[in-house]
Amino acid sequence: MKELGKVYGINGPVVYVKGRTLFQMAEKVFVGRQKLIGEVISLNSKMTTIQVYEETSGMKPGEPVYSTGYPMSVILGPGILNNIFDGIERPLKDIEKISGDFIKKGVEVTPLNTEKKWQVHLLVAVGQEVLGGTIIAEVPETKTIMHKAMVPPNVEGTVIEIANDGEYTIEETIVKIQQLDLSIIDVKLAQEWPIRIPRPVSKRYESTIPLVTGQRVVDTLFPIAKGGTAAIPGGFGTGKTMMQHQIAKYSDADIIIYIGCGERGNEMTEVLEDFSKLEDPKSGNSLMERTALIANTSNMPVAAREASIYTGVTLAEYYRDMGYDVAIMADSTSRWAEALRELSGRLEEMPAEEGFPAYLASRIASFYERAGLMQNLNETEGSVSIIGAVSPQGGDFSEPVTQQTKRFVRCFWGLDKALAYERHYPAIHWLKSYSEYVGDLAAWYRDNVSPDFVSNRSQLMEILHQESALMEVVKLIGNDVLPDDQKLTIEIARVIRLGFLQQNAFHADDTAVPLDKQAKMMAIILYLREKCRSLIAIGMPMSLLLNEDIFPKIISIKYDVPNDKLELLDNYYEQIDLFYNKIMEKNA
């Protein structure tokens, strides 16, 4: 750490050093007497500009600025999971120990515990050739996740020394590698990686496997692939955070990285409290054992908000490299974009739309580009899926962040204010949303769920579209004048909306639903439609059909059939037949 300059000017999170300096672009620096962490964001012969990740109040011109020689990086190693960090990977529990209930600035903490001894089992032998990414050891990081220590991506050579199986800290050397140029590299459990540079992979695949979330409107109507990207735009209170919590809890990813980017403190507390208590359906352990949280709440420094997104995605890539399926929840990417805008404004850059900098689109693109199903350097396969909330100003999807995001994601789960007002949750609007993965995943659904899953899905969508057209008419003249087959469409659409799309996150069974149940519920609804259609075809009026209680019965399948008693679903076909026969007998 070398002093390379002195503070000249301070404007919020932006600090200037005057004159020509030896700093490097994107270098991590320590600013001022309190050694606040910062990053060099522009350099010219007159001025070096630094963004500071902590509050700068109290800083004076003339204070020293130190160089580190390294770009902004994170430490990657065991201890990331079951932990909560701020935007630049400082563990909040350690900060609490030093600074109490409120976060003071300039607190010095290491990202990962350097004293803890981990149980290490070596997987390489002396003399073995290794490449970047080669897995050299296994460490049970949490009850759920086996951590795999890897050769850093840019290292390759021959193993010349290994440690014995046993307990090591993240700073102890476990393998020595001699590279081609004869230099010797000490490989430890932890490695460092710059947050703004994607970790390298060998190959990118088209994903054909869904990330199963247990949320019907997602899995059935607008599925996302493992390694896919999705945006959840919606005005305040429409359910972005709830949706991300649900996916973080119930999706079949191996690992969850949850980034609270400029959102509420209580929401992070909620995740911490809930996830520690909730059981991971896959392993039976607590959900936190497969989760890492990154929290830059809305009242924490704005520059660290900009970094938090990159910190999160770098952690995710690291676990992907081990061969895991990782899902990132980023809530909310708009706050990240606004942090870019705020910093850009302080730098007096030329703004493009609504004050956002012109590079907004390229930043959003390069973030989502880091998702994907990959063949890793070590030939394992892993994926990073990114699900980003978008908080459009005024709830208006035509604003720049929503529009730019739409260009780079393949799932768009548009939340609707009117649905949220009537408490139809999740408020994902079926007419405003889409998934480009439906085709890619069709074969998987056919082989693993049911042969007619995809065609049933299309029928559901079709009914919903017809309903919306019919409702335009109903708004003007009322329901009564419609012919019975159209009334039926409206009633079936109602069953779909209330009984299928609406899903109660607070109901023990309904909160997450296996794909089998989703497929069967869908098939039952369509069977009901088929039977009603034939009744109407022979002249039975809709009002007669509605007198029977079959419609409410089908609507409450979601509550009445527990997820572990799916055999009960078969009864519903009988009940629909009974209803059919009853109408026929009574009115024939």
Partner 1 sequence: MAIEYLGLDSINGPLVVLEGIQDAAYDDIVEFVVEREEHKLGRIIEMYENKAVIQVFESTANMSLDNTHTKLTGHAMELPLAPEILGRTFDGIGRPIDGLGEINYVVKRDVNGLPMNPVSREYPRNFIQTGVSAIDALTTLIRGQKLPIFSGDGLPHDQLAAQIVRQASLKTEEEEEFGIVFAAMGVKHDVADYFKRTFEESGVLDHVTMFLNLADDPVVERLITPKVALTAAEYLAFDLGMHILVVMTDMTSYCEALREVSASKQEIPSRKGYPGYLYSDLASLYERAGILADKPGSVTQIPILTMPNDDITHPIPDLTGYITEGQIVLDRSLEGKSIYPPINVLPSLSRLMKDGIGKGFTREDHQDVANQLFASYSRVTDARSLASVIGEDELSDIDKKYIEFGNKFEREFIGQEKDESRSIEETLEKAWELLRILPRHELDRIDTELLNQYYKVGR
Ligand X SMILES: Nc1ncnc2c1ncn2[C@@H]1O[C@H](COP(=O)(O)OP(=O)(O)OP(=O)(O)O)[C@@H](O)[C@H]1O
Tokens representing 114 are: 């350097």
Spatial separation of the C-alpha atoms in residues 36 and 50, rounded to whole Å = 11
Instruction: State in angstroms the smallest separation of the CB of 316 from ligand X.
Output: 21
Q: What is the dihedral of CA 215, 221, 226, 229, to 10 degrees?
A: -100
Cβ proximity to ligand X: between 81 and 557 the closer is: 557
Selected from 51, 241, 333, 383, the binder of Mg ion by CB under 5 A is 241
Instruction: State in angstroms the smallest separation of the CB of 481 from partner 1.
Output: 10
Sequence-ordered list of residues with C-beta below 8 angstroms from that of 588, at least 6 positions apart, any chain: none
Q: Which residues 372-431 are close enough to bind ligand X by CB under 6 A?
A: 391, 425-426
> What are residue 428's DSSP bridge partners?
415
Instruction: State in angstroms the smallest separation of the CB of 5 from partner 1.
Output: 13
β-pair type (381-390, 229-233): parallel
477 binds, among Mg ion, ligand X, partner 1, none (CB under 5 to 8 A by kind): partner 1
Contact string 452-491 vs ligand X (x = CB under 6 A) = ----------------------------------------
Instruction: State in angstroms the smallest separation of the CB of 426 from ligand X.
Output: 4
Cβ proximity to Mg ion: between 94 and 263 the closer is: 263
**SS3 at position 62:** coil
Helix (H) or strand (E) holding 540: none
Cβ proximity to partner 1: between 13 and 157 the closer is: 13
Instruction: State in angstroms the smallest separation of the CB of 25 from partner 1.
Output: 23
Other C-beta atoms lying within 10 Å of the C-beta of residue 288: 24
What b/e readout covers 220-251, taking b as 16+ CB neighbours within 10 angstroms? bbbbbbbbbbbbbbbbeebbbbbbbbbbbbbb
Selected from 208, 380, 403, 504, the binder of ligand X by CB under 6 A is 504
Q: Is 498 exposed, middle or buried (0-12, 13-18, 19+ CB in 10 A)?
A: middle
Instruction: State in angstroms the smallest separation of the CB of 310 from partner 1.
Output: 19
Q: What is the DSSP string of 130-163?
A: E-TT-EEEEEE-SSS-EEEEE--TT--EEEEEEP
> What are residue 40's DSSP bridge partners?
50
Instruction: State in angstroms the smallest separation of the CB of 47 from partner 1.
Output: 11
Contact 347, 42 (CB under 8 A): yes
Q: Residue 412 carries which DSSP code? A: E
The reply to whether 251 sits near ligand X by the rule CB under 6 A is: no
Instruction: State in angstroms the smallest separation of the CB of 233 from ligand X.
Output: 9
367 binds, among partner 1, ligand X, Mg ion, none (CB under 5 to 8 A by kind): none
β-pair type (411-412, 229-233): parallel
Phi, then psi, of 241 in degrees rounded to 5: -65, -40
229 binds, among partner 1, Mg ion, ligand X, none (CB under 5 to 8 A by kind): none
Instruction: State in angstroms the smallest separation of the CB of 125 from partner 1.
Output: 42
Contact 29, 40 (CB under 8 A): yes
Cβ proximity to partner 1: between 131 and 498 the closer is: 498
234 binds, among ligand X, Mg ion, partner 1, none (CB under 5 to 8 A by kind): ligand X
Cβ proximity to ligand X: between 192 and 396 the closer is: 396
Contact string 198-237 vs Mg ion (x = CB under 5 A) = ----------------------------------------
Tokens representing 192 are: 């460092």
Tokens representing 109 are: 């903490």
The reply to whether 236 sits near ligand X by the rule CB under 6 A is: yes
345 binds, among Mg ion, ligand X, partner 1, none (CB under 5 to 8 A by kind): partner 1
The site for Mg ion (CB under 5 A) is made up of: 240-241
The site for ligand X (CB under 6 A) is made up of: 234, 236-242, 263, 391, 425-426, 504-506
